[in-house]
Homo-oligomer: A and B are copies of this chain.
Amino acid sequence: MKGRVSAYDVAKLAKVSQTTVSRVLNNYPHVRKETRKRVHDAINTLGFSPDEIARSLASKKTNTIGLIVEDISNSFYAETAHIILREAQKYDYEVIIIDAETDENSFERAINTLNGKRVDGIIVASARMDNQKVKEFYDKGFPIIFYNRRIYGIEESHYVEVDNRLGAKIAVNHLVENKHRKIAFISGPTIYSTFYQRFEGYKEALQENGLEYDESLIYKGEVIYEQVFQFALNLMRDKEMPTAFFASTDQMALAIMDAAARSGRHIPYDISIIGFDDIEIASNPYIGLSTISQRKREMAVLTLQKLFSLINKDDSNSEPNKITLEPELIIRKTTGVNNQ
């Protein structure tokens, strides 16, 4: 057991929240006798004095962390957020989610709001890769960890990501193995590390397979369903249409599937589609989307653990956490052999 006096340990042993520990020590009126006893027993068992615990509670910890996402209606964020929220509760932590744009001003505003709410640390799910604002907060020693999307050029930044470049290469190789030679690429803005890396992986895989890069098969715009749908529909109406689509996210793959239905193309006989993320709906039998798994549960759990290490300064070394997980190919029914 660590030497550090911890209300957390008391709370855990007494099976109550830290707030309850605090209430007991401050003789707050509405606490049941039995709860009061459990807390005092726990303090005795751990060999602390109530005063020590009270002092530790007076420290700055709020047992609240912040989570910044770009669009909570995007299933990838919603599903990882849920994992983070429920996992955090096991540590008696509450999570405040902020849904914000990713430009530096919005980012700063979101961080400041969370700071004003006195969170102990922040998880950022979406930031532009050139975001330099975060340096200010690292300089102040504030625990911030990125997951999914990382930033570049800030030495001290912590992140947990999937190998997006490798994931894209695996996706393209899967299509090439199925005899596809004309592969469209649908991406969100490459100001994000995820889309940037996936685009790089796509180009690399084309080159390694001796395929030509064709600008007219590339969408790199906003992640807006209608726009992706329209772009895919236009390509599909062309006689010389690509036989396969690699979508940078499953949400965009759904828009492409929609365009295939609209243009009367049969999946996977006329057209193959592969996504990225493995959101829950991808495995529904009526969707059955082939995709690259981000291993979102591992990513979310790992991010949270690393954040807690930062908050508690548990790490003996002070190296930034830079973690890249391996992606995984999941073949379902939207990809097949090219017959043309």
- Cβ 8 A contact of A82, one of B72, B98, B112: B72
Contact residue among B62, B72, B257, B287 (Cβ-Cβ distance under 8 Å from A72): B72
Which residue of chain B lies nearest to A334 when distances are taken between CB atoms in the complex? B286
Q: How far is the CA of A318 from the CA of B94 in the complex (A)?
A: 33
Residue of B nearest to A73 (CB): B82
A258 at the interface (CB under 8 A from B): yes
Residues of chain B within 8 A of A72, CB atoms compared: 72, 78, 81-82, 85, 97
- Whether A287 contacts B286 in the complex (CB less than 8 A), given A71-B82, A73-B82, comes out as yes
* A284 in the interface (beta carbon within 8 A): yes
Whether, in the assembled complex, A56 has its beta carbon less than 8 Å from a beta carbon of chain B, the answer is no
Closest chain B CB from A286 CB (angstroms): 5
A73 touches B81 (CB 8 A): yes
Is A293 on the interface with B (CB-CB < 8 A)?
no
The contact string, 1 if C-beta is below 8 Å from chain B, for chain A 238-257, is 00000000000000001001
Convert A269-287 into 0s and 1s, putting 1 for each residue whose CB lies closer than 8 angstroms to a CB of B: 0000000000011001111
Most chain B CB within 10 A, of A72, A77, A97, A258, is at A72
Assess whether A86 is interfacial by the CB under 8 Å rule: yes
Task: Tell me if A17 counts as interface (CB < 8 A to partner B).
Answer: yes
Contact, CB under 8 Å: B285 / A257: yes
Q: Is A95 an interface residue (CB 8 A)?
A: yes
8 Å CB contact of A75 from B62, B75, B85 = B75
For A81, give the chain B residue with the smallest CB separation: B72
For the complex formed, measure the closest distance between the CB of A11 and the CB atoms of chain B, giving whole angstroms.
13
Considering only residues 4-44 of chain A, those with a C-beta below 8 Å from chain B are: 17, 19
Looking at the complex, which one of B77, B254, B285 makes contact with A261 (CB distance below 8 Å)?
Answer: B285
Q: List, sorted by A's number, 28 A–B pairs whose CB atoms are closer than 8 Å.
A: A19-B109, A19-B112, A64-B113, A71-B82, A72-B78, A72-B85, A72-B97, A73-B75, A73-B79, A73-B82, A75-B75, A78-B78, A86-B99, A94-B98, A94-B110, A96-B117, A97-B97, A97-B99, A254-B281, A254-B284, A257-B285, A258-B285, A261-B285, A262-B285, A281-B281, A284-B287, A286-B286, A287-B287
